[in-house]
Structure 1
Amino acid sequence: MSETTAPAATTPSAAARSARSARTSVAGAATVRGRRARVALRALQVLLALFYAIPSALPKLIAHSSAAKTFDEMGWGSTGMYAIGLLELAGAIGLLVPVLQSAAATGLAALMVGAFVVQITVLDGQYAATPLILVVPLAYMAWARRSHNADLLRLLRRRG
C-alpha cells in the first residue's frame, strides 16, 4: 500500500508569508537579471568608448600617415580628418557620461552610417561592413539609455 499524506492546513498568515516569499524570490531573480544586464551594457559602453577613443580617433587626431592618406584620397584633407577624429573622441567620452550616453550612442551610430556610405561610394568598400556592425550595439545602447534623454533635456533647459 502506498502512503498518502494530507496537505497541511495553512493559516492565513502562513499563506501570506508563502506568497510574499515567492514574490520576493521572483523579484530577486529579476533584480539579478537586471543587474547583470546593466553591468553587461556598461561593459559594452566602456569597450566601445575605448575603441572609438584609441584605435579610431587617436590616429586621426595625431595625423597618422594611414589616416592622412585615406582622408587625402577622399578629398577631405586634414580638416575632415581632425573633425571626424574629434567627433569620435567626443562620442567616446559621451558614452562614459551617464546623462550623455544615449545622445552619444545616437551620434556615433549616425557617424557610422556616414562611414558606411563613404566606404561604398568613395572608397573601395572593402571595410563597409565594419560601420554597420558597430551600429547594432550603438543603437541598442541609445535605446537602453533613452531615459537619460529626459535628464539631458531638463539639464539643458535649466541652464538655458
Structure 2
Amino acid sequence: MTEQKLATRQAPAEPTGRPGKAWNIVLWVLQIAVAAEFLLAGIAKVTSNPQMVDMFAEIGAGQWFRVVTGLLELAGAVGLLIPVLSGLAGLGLAALSIGATITNVFVLHTNTTITVVLAVVAAVIAWGRRGRTAELANRFKR
C-alpha cells in the first residue's frame, strides 16, 4: 500500500486540541448544570440568605468572606458559559469547591458529598476545556 492509502485509513487527528462533538455536548451539559448550581449558591451568599449568614458566622472568617465567596461563585458560573473562559472557570470553581470541602470537614463538620461532586465535575470541565485555557494563555503571551 502506498503512504497515501495508509494516511486515509487513519482517524483524523484533532489538530486544534478541541473535543469531539459528543464530548463537547457532554461538557456543555456539565457546564450548564454546574453554572446553575453555583449561580444559585452565589446569589444566596451575596443576598445575605439567613442560612448563609449563619454558616459563615460559624466559619468565623467574617461576613466579607461570604460576599467574596458568593462573587467568586457568580463569576465562575458566568465564566462556564463563556466559551473562551470555560476551562479557567472550571479550574477556579474546582479550587473553590476543594476549599469548601476542607471547610466542611474541619470547621463545619458537615457532609461533603455536594462539594466533592462539584469539585470533580468542575475539574472534568477544566480538563475538557484545557485547549481553550491554553488559547487564552497564548493570547496574553503575545
The number of residues matched between the two structures is 129
Runs of 4+ deviating beyond 6 Å: none
Matching residue of 1:156 = 140
Quote how far apart the aligned CAs of 1:156 are: 2.6
Residues 68 and 77, structure 1, Cα contact 8 Å, conserved in 2: no
Name the CA distance, whole Å, in 2 between partners of 1:136 and 1:152: 23
Match of 1:109 among 89, 94, 107: 94
- Matched to 2:114, the amino acid is T
Match of 1:145 among 117, 125, 129: 129
1:130 equivalenced with 2:114 (yes/no): yes
Quote how far apart the aligned CAs of 1:147 are: 0.5
1:4-153 equivalences in 2 (<5 Å):
34-54=20-40, 56-125=41-110, 127-153=111-137
- Matched to 1:84, the amino acid is T
| Structure 2 residue ranges without an equivalent (≥5) | 13-19
TM norm structure 2: 0.82
- Matched to 2:59, the amino acid is M
Name the CA distance, whole Å, in 1 between partners of 2:120 and 2:56: 25
Name the CA distance, whole Å, in 2 between partners of 1:135 and 1:73: 22
Name the CA distance, whole Å, in 1 between partners of 2:121 and 2:58: 29
Quote how far apart the aligned CAs of 1:57 are: 0.5
What is the percentage of aligned positions where both structures have the same residue? 35
Larger radius of gyration: 1
- Matched to 2:120, the amino acid is V
Name the CA distance, whole Å, in 1 between partners of 2:137 and 2:22: 28
Quote how far apart the aligned CAs of 1:154 are: 2.6
TM norm structure 1: 0.73
Secondary structure, counterpart of 1:122 in structure 2? helix
Name the CA distance, whole Å, in 1 between partners of 2:93 and 2:36: 13
Name the CA distance, whole Å, in 2 between partners of 1:62 and 1:75: 19
- Bigger relative contact order (CA 8 A; separation at least 6): 2
